[in-house]
Amino acid sequence: MTQATLVDSHCHLDFPDFDAERDAIVARALEAGVTRMVTICTRLRLEPQVRAIAETYAPVFYAAGTHPMSAADEPLATLDELIALAAHPKFVGIGETGLDYHYTADSAAIQQQSLRIHIAAARETKLPLIIHARAADEDMARILREEYDNGAYTCVMHCFSSSADLAAAALDMGFYLSMSGIAAFPKSQDLRDIFAAAPVDRVLVETDSPYLAPPPFRGKRNEPAYTAHTAKAGAAIYGLSDADFARQTTENFDRLFWKAKV
């Protein structure tokens, strides 16, 4: 039987968790049918090393931005800086950026300023915005809508685990929801219900590795190969075969991350 191919739309291959065996990590992903990966730079000063990983491995693409939890500690990104990065052939998205008030609510103002700069870059480059949202649903929905009304852009709500209201607001703007291993956790039925209510042609899969490993690896280091386990949970949510869900989410990825289409 031909193995359905998948895409890990969000991982962190530059993190030290992978330093000792990056070749093997990529090889295992390919063996598991994960034929492309997007590795995400969360601090722009680290962009050269993330870019080098994408340049080293044919199946790996990359994106870069300032993570909201780092927004107060890093230089504010500029529009020109982000547009310049987008010229690289393997640079496929803007971010991750967003809002995180769970641990870093004290930097809300600078997070919001950083987010708006990243949105402007996504609008200008036509590359998808990659959003991290935690404990900030109202501000997130408001800013995304305000900016969308100023000019359309595309976006994925990465590792979506927020409210049904934020999901609806994002979907209403034509955005995508990305499913991580959280959707496969036994106690995540509410999240599975949110995904079940979303159009299947607006869903991506990801690992966010090295974090959030799905069962049966929960509590261990996550890696792109485990996308297949999250996708199996996604297929069950939609009542699809594993192959059909893999095919659909890959089509969705190609539509959104157009520069990574092969």
This prediction has a pTM of 0.97
Which backbone phi and psi does 114 adopt, to 5 degrees? -60, -45
pLDDT by residue (tens digit) across 4-51? Answer: 799 999 999 999 999 999 999 999 999 999 999 999 999 999 999 999
User: Quick one: pLDDT band at residue 3, thresholds 50, 70, 90?
Assistant: low
Q: Which amino acid is at 148?
A: Y
pLDDT by residue (tens digit) across 204-227? Answer: 999 999 999 999 999 999 999 999
The reported pLDDT for the residue numbered 46 is 97
Specify the 3-state DSSP secondary structure of 171: helix
Residue that has been written with the tokens 């300032």 in this structure: 66
User: Quick one: pLDDT band at residue 1, thresholds 50, 70, 90?
Assistant: very low
User: What CA–CA distances, in Å, run from 110 to 68, 102, 186?
Assistant: 9, 15, 36
Domains and CATH numbers, the chain: 6-260 (3.20.20.140)
The reported pLDDT for the residue numbered 262 is 84
**Could you say which DSSP state residue 81 is in?**
H
